[in-house]
Amino acid sequence: SMLYHKPLDEQWQSRARELEKRLGVYVIGRSRKQKLILSQDYVTEKLHINGREYRYIHIENSFTQPNPRVNEQMIEWSLSQVGGIGGDLLELYCGAGNFTIPFASKFDRVLATEISKSSIHAAKQNMALNGVENIEFVRLSAEEFTQALDSVREFRRLEGLNVSDYHLKTLFVDPPRAGLGEEPCAFAARFDHLLYISCNPETLYRDLEILSRTHTIDAMAAFDQFPYTHHLEMGVKLTKKGSV
């Protein structure tokens, strides 16, 4: 993606097409009230997870994990933490289905929510691309889904989907850098099994202080997505106290 402060004309398009051909890339030009797509506005990434190849469409200007080799390790670790639990999985902040699609092999059904319309669209494409059928992607924020689950509000986006039919005893979250906070942690505390991927160890620490009131930490891992920087991804598996 190339950003400019002046309008993009035919000369820019001609030069950009030369650049696409020379580098073997897809170029998108952005200026004020302009978005020029020369070939396509997405890339297809291949990940190899536990001996299986997964393919993902990533749309320009949307979020995805930046380091594919570390991402593969992060997904494999996450899969190892949920083996044998069964039932249905609830995922919040699912993005384009990075974790969701591999998780589908470990659970009867997966219900995944995300607020971004473009990410939900990509997630549905990725589900079809990988031949997975037991995932339901819903465009709701974490707060909205809690309201729907507790029958506080009805959402047209959930029409035809009965949330109460799901046997949700496992929750997976991969929130933004701000983490969960008090209310979402209270919601997470309902679940017997909780898997938390964090891109901010500081907010993760804050959330774990809350979650430790109801859950015990079973496993923890660190994933260095950005070598030579202070950024670090963390994974934590928690089990509700007193659950079998």
Among the residue ranges 107-111, 119-123, 144-148, 179-183, the one predicted with the least confidence is: 144-148
What is the Cα–Cα distance from 242 to 64, expressed in whole angstroms? 36
Per-residue pLDDT tens for 11-34? Answer: 999 999 999 999 999 999 999 999
- What integer pLDDT is reported at residue 244 of this predicted model? 61
Given a cut of 80, is residue 124 above it in pLDDT?
A: yes
Given a cut of 80, is residue 243 above it in pLDDT?
A: no
- What integer pLDDT is reported at residue 47 of this predicted model? 98
Residue-averaged pLDDT of the chain? 94
Contact in structure between 91 and 113 (CB atoms under 8 Å)? yes
* Amino acid sitting at position 173: V
Who's near 47: CB < 8 A, 6+ residues apart? 53, 54, 55, 56, 68, 71, 72, 75
Contact in structure between 166 and 111 (CB atoms under 8 Å)? yes
What is the Cα–Cα distance from 94 to 152, expressed in whole angstroms? 23
Q: Which fold would CATH assign to domain 63-240?
A: Rossmann fold (3.40.50)
What's the whole-number mean pLDDT along residues 37-61? 95
What's the whole-number mean pLDDT along residues 91-115? 96
Burial of 230 (0-12, 13-18, 19+ CB in 10 A): exposed
* 159 vs 230, higher pLDDT: 230
> What confidence category does residue 70 fall into, taking pLDDT thresholds of 50, 70 and 90?
very high
Please confirm, yes or no, whether 185 is among the known catalytic residues.
no
Tokens, residue 34: 């302009």
- What integer pLDDT is reported at residue 164 of this predicted model? 83
Annotated catalytic residue, options 185, 199, 202, 209: 199
Please confirm, yes or no, whether 94 is among the known catalytic residues.
no
The domain limits of the chain are: 2-40, 63-240
> What confidence category does residue 242 fall into, taking pLDDT thresholds of 50, 70 and 90?
confident
Backbone angles phi, psi at 2, to 5 degrees: -115, 125
Per-residue pLDDT tens for 181-227? Answer: 999 999 999 999 999 999 999 999 999 999 999 999 999 999 998 88
Tokens, residue 64: 């995805």
